[in-house]
Homo-oligomer: A and B are copies of this chain.
């Protein structure tokens, strides 16, 4: 055996959790997936890796520079890279399996993605994305359904008050193209996307640089700052549709989406038209979404997405339009934890720890544990030789709410001692009664059930 030891540390930027936190994260992840299935999205899972030419077919983006390539143990590079999002893998999946898929294809995918970011607070190199997309439809009602799914997810997760913002890129693009030109559109979109971060003065300065007239810059700012209902939008900009055909298209799609979001059951205070949502130079071509925590707007969007005309353009000539949205669950979890806003949730696994009062009761303790498990109650038996006090401290440190102490005398009366670990309350009850108390306790702490 070696005498020098290797330091047991993780690479930086790769978070991991202690078990009781992991239990909470796992419930949140499962809740997200359950709501996705509630709304009829099909699960898929793609490999962690894609071929480099597939992954980088679009090219040019910042994210592409952060790709991890795979090499073998001799350091020889392969043609494989870890995926950096779930959208490119979806595009590849759809093209590869098109003959076996039914369109519109409603899929969800909750997997880890990897990005070689500079390690810093709130930035992870490995994190979960939870995506839904609907492929093969241009119907704006689908765009309206997406926010309603997110609304249901966040309500079940008991996320503090949030607002899902909706816009349509055709609006701001159409306005800019008519007012200024198509040429500098991409530059403008970057500036517009940075407005919340950099502020109004910087915006005007950049507009001047682009040679835009102050009156036009002022109008563009007014548009970007608009937040309200569709009626508010009509009041604020009654003649917007006259600007161009593209603007008119964007406006009418936005109306269907906004009305549809409400019909799909999102309360009006949770949905807003926010023309400031631009989504940088992304591949979105119509509807765009961002979601803000009302009390923490400074953290930015916690759930974003949009519509794309042509998801698979790098792999096929077949046009496959779609719409989707993505939740970055680790970032959301980290944020809620930091703000003390994690939902009240079970942080233990075992509902009960079975303890043998003495060696003679050991076999009976195992049999009782079997019985408890057979009715679906999470249970473990303390198998080590240890004083009763140490066994209770074990339960306490794991957050296990109940202990059942088994002794031999119990075999005649068929009762055991049930102890609530937090209060120390004890009672002599039959196993059936103990199970009822334990199950009731889990039931009232259960998380992720619909709330009315």
Contacts and interface: CB of A to CB of B under 8 A. Distances in A.
Interface of A: 1-2, 5-11, 14-20, 22-23, 26, 37-51, 53-54, 57, 64-73, 75, 77-80, 82, 91-93, 95-97, 100-102, 104, 106-107, 112, 114, 116, 126, 137, 139, 141-142, 145, 148, 152, 260, 263-265, 312-317, 349-350, 353, 362-363, 366-367, 369-370, 373-381, 383-385, 394, 397-398, 449-450, 452
B70 A68 contact: yes
Contacts of A314: 2, 5-6
A38 to B, nearest CB: 5
B38 A22 contact: no
A45 B65 contact: no
Nearest to A36: B349
A14 B47 contact: yes
Given A50-B11, A312-B8, A40 B70 contact: no
A379 B148 CA distance: 13
Given A17-B45, A45-B17, A152-B373, A40 B10 contact: no
Nearest to A10: B47
Contacts of A77: 71, 75
Given A71-B70, A376-B450, A450-B375, A19 B39 contact: no
Nearest to A383: B141
Contact of A43 (B26, B43, B72, B383): B26
A395 B208 CA distance: 56
B69 A44 contact: no
A21 to B, nearest CB: 10
Given A48-B126, A106-B380, A374-B450, A79 B397 contact: no
Contacts of A384: 104, 137, 139
A51 B383 contact: no
A341 to B, nearest CB: 22
Contact of A73 (B6, B18, B64, B260): B64
Given A7-B315, A39-B373, 7 more contacts: A6-B314, A14-B49, A19-B44, A19-B107, A40-B378, A104-B383, A265-B374
A449 B265 CA distance: 33
A22 to B, nearest CB: 5
Contacts of A22: 42-45
A368 to B, nearest CB: 11
B383 A38 contact: no
A376 B5 CA distance: 53
A57 B6 contact: yes
A41 B348 CA distance: 10
A18 B349 contact: no
A263 B367 contact: yes
B106 A47 contact: no
23 contacts: A5-B315, A5-B316, A7-B54, A8-B92, A8-B96, A10-B47, A10-B51, A11-B51, A11-B79, A16-B45, A16-B47, A16-B93, A19-B42, A39-B378, A47-B126, A48-B114, A69-B70, A69-B73, A71-B71, A141-B366, A141-B383, A263-B366, A374-B452
Nearest to A69: B71
Contact of A9 (B15, B96, B101): B96
Contacts of A97: 18
Contact of A92 (B10, B50, B398): B10
A44 B73 contact: no
Contact of A69 (B72, B380, B397): B72
Contacts of A116: 72-73
Contacts of A75: 69, 77
A315 B6 contact: yes
A343 to B, nearest CB: 18
A345 to B, nearest CB: 14
A16 B46 contact: yes
Contact of A68 (B72, B114, B369): B72
A326 B54 CA distance: 34
Contacts of A374: 265, 450, 452
A73 B380 CA distance: 47
Nearest to A380: B40
